[in-house]
Structure 1
Amino acid sequence: MKHKAPPKITLVGSGNWGSTIALIVGRNAGKHKNDSIQKFACGFSDSLHRQRYTYTTPLERGRFGHFTYQTFLIDKKEGVIRLVSEGIRGLLNIDTAVPMGANVLRKQRLAVEVKKKWPVLKKSFESDNFRINLTKDSNTVELCGGLKNVVACAAGFADGLGYGSNTKAAIVQLGLLEIIVIVELFYHDSNIQTYFESCGIADLIATCNSGRNRKICEAFVKTRKSIQDLE
């Protein structure tokens, strides 16, 4: 009787977040090596073209598309915008998981549509200092991670103009409502509870107060330097 080999985990990316999650997964792989995880991690620098983060990725069937700001993918053949996870699933016919959340809270929302994958992902990514909640609502989780940055830009502009906390609160509140409207427009089966998890309101608040986009937009107003120079 053949025993099924434990799944291998490959991590691509060696920035702050990539290195952190690699450390967690590596430790868990050692802990559960006879159970369900086999460590196989690798990484490379993702600072290819910092001002736009645009990639053309050749995969099994030739050119796949353009990855822009890590969230959206433009299908060159069909000319439509898709989420990166949708593009990967469609091309490679594999299950995908989408982690998103305010990392400073040491808690994330991990979206996986196939529930049977949940136990191994929980063992792989969770530690004493880092928690994940699992959901099937992957499209909402992924879109929250991208759209929060637009709201953070508005927060940065407000800070640069000298507006106070009431204005910031209004931006966060209205920004969340707009995120919900956009997600509902494209994915009618989104779960309202997802917006109140770490990937939603928590990440939005953190990004609007200390995120890179907020800082750059504040500096743009105050210094009048170009976005390219500030980056």
Structure 2
Amino acid sequence: MLMFVCKQGQPIRLKGFDMNHPATHAQGKPQAIARIRRQYPYNNVVMIGDGITDQEAVEATGGADIFICYGGVVERQNVASRSDWFVRSYDDLMRCLKRYKVAMVGSGAWACAAVRMVAQSTAEAAQSPASCFEPEVTMWVHEEKHSGRNLTEYINEHHENPVYLPGASLGENLIANNDLIETVRGADLIIFCAPHQFMHGICKQLAAAKVVNRGAKAISLTKGMRVRAEGPQLISQMVSRILGIDCSVLMGANIAGDIAREELSEAVIAYTSRDAGVLWQQLFQRPYFAINLLADVPGAEMCGTLKNIVAVGAGMGDGLGIGPNSKASILRQGLSEMRQFCKYISPSVRDDTFFESCGVADVIASCYGGRNRRVAEAWCQRRMAGDQLVSFDDLEKEMLNGQKLQGVLTSDEVQEILEARGWELNFPLFTTINRIIHGEVPPDMILRC
């Protein structure tokens, strides 16, 4: 007895054999199937056998979904003719199982920490003949030079990104490619982890090249949104609309360096299709990286976006030298405005989402350890010391080694929405942070908003 997730009758993923349900007599088979259904409600059940009672276990009410007739020992024509699939060997069965090809779009610190986990999972899965993943993972790298060499060449030789995640082995099964189209070509599972301001162009380029498989699935690790005249568009919505594929999101308290050191971390995968969520969970979950599944894509994604604004505010507070009580007030007000903004934009957002890793946990991690906090602290200190010309752009180049600062851009995008809809007074912290960024009010206004 084994279980697959199936699509249009074709077995695409072996879930596993279950040896805990005896089926040594005819009535044992329907009972075993019923127990398996209760234990795995989202999987289809496949019966493999060569006898009439095996066939009857499929045809009975509540029976298995697919019957594979095995003719490797005894071939019974009357049973084979009624089967969904006929095989003569176990190897035939394994060869027909689809394996997913995985591609990563992005090569910054978080992208490398994430693809490192993915490469570990696919390498381990390759040891099983029933693996559902191709062992090789491709990663698109925006080409640049490192020590006189192309960064892609260095990564492929040393299995490390020395620019954005130095010292972390990405795995020998990770292949870097500077060609976006070739990286994604033929991929079944596409992970997006590029700065959000570049995502629209990336999706348009992929759509024009027509390289995305029709049945492919995507997941976004990108934190941000696109502002349009008709309203904000989340990155997952952009991917789905432009590429025509399902897009889940992975969000949480995920500082890249901590995860690369395999420190205990967690995240949520929010999905529209639970089957897709379970598949992504298989790919990302590691002994040091726990995944919870959540049926709230807009809530999880907006939390991951808005927390960057709160982190900028927390960094400003740190630059002023405030104590823990004052900083806690900024975090509390920030989380409250995050929830309110999410509800205004998408009333279906669930309250319990804010208690997941993508909510309060991500706010805490970002406001104490993220790059938005760190740059905002330095900016505020320089301003308070009299340097009125220092800009966030300057500090991004000086401090982030080529990485992008998301909080300032996100603040501008959210402020555009607040002003367009007349919501500024309802979001005093978000509005004050944006005005401080643009020099309209002094930094200490963060304590009086």
TM-score range, shorter chain: 0.7 to 0.9
Classify the secondary structure of the residue corresponding to 1:102: coil
Deviation at 1:79, TM superposition (A): 5.3
Distance 2:361 2:372 in 1: 16
Which residue in 2 is equivalent to 1:44? 140
The reply on whether 1:54 has 2:197 as its aligned counterpart is yes
Matched letter for residue 44 of structure 1 = W
Partner residue in 1 for 2:304? 145
Q: CA 1:46–1:155 in 2, change beyond 3 Å: closer, same or farther? A: farther
| Percent of paired sites with the same residue | 32
Shift of 1:61: 4.7
Distance 2:356 2:196 in 1: 27
1:227 counterpart = 2:378: no
Structure 1 CA distance for aligned equivalents of residues 123 and 375 of structure 2: 40
Task: After the TM superposition, list the runs of 4 or more consecutive aligned residues in structure 1 that deviate by more than 4 angstroms.
Answer: none
C-alpha distance in 1 between matches for 2:360 and 2:290: 17
CA pair 100-44 structure 1, distance change in 2 beyond 3 A: same
Change (3 A) 1:40 1:106: same
- The two structures have a TM-score, normalised by structure 1, of 0.85
CA RMSD after TM alignment: 2.4
Trace 1:67-216 onto structure 2 (pairs within 5 A).
Answer: 70-74=223-227, 80-103=231-254, 104=258, 105-216=264-375
Q: In structure 2, what residue type is equivalent to 1:212?
A: R
SS at match of 1:189: coil
Alpha carbons 2:253, 2:265 under 8 Å: kept: yes
- Aligned-residue offset at 1:40: 4.3
Q: Where do 5+ consecutive residues of structure 2 fail to align?
A: 1-84, 86-92, 145-194, 210-221, 259-263, 384-389, 397-449
Q: Deviations 1:35-57 (Å, cap 9, x if unpaired)?
A: 32223422233589xxx863233
The size of the alignment, in residue pairs, is 220
User: Equivalents in 1 of 2:143, 2:338: separation in Å?
Assistant: 28
Which residue identity is paired with 1:36? Answer: C
In the alignment, the residues of structure 2 paired with residue 124 and residue 70 of structure 1 have an alpha-carbon distance, to the nearest angstrom, of 20
Q: Distance in 1 between matches of 2:265 and 2:105?
A: 21
Q: Greater Rg, structure 1 or structure 2? A: 2
**TM-aligned CA distance change 1:59 to 1:12, over 3 Å:** closer
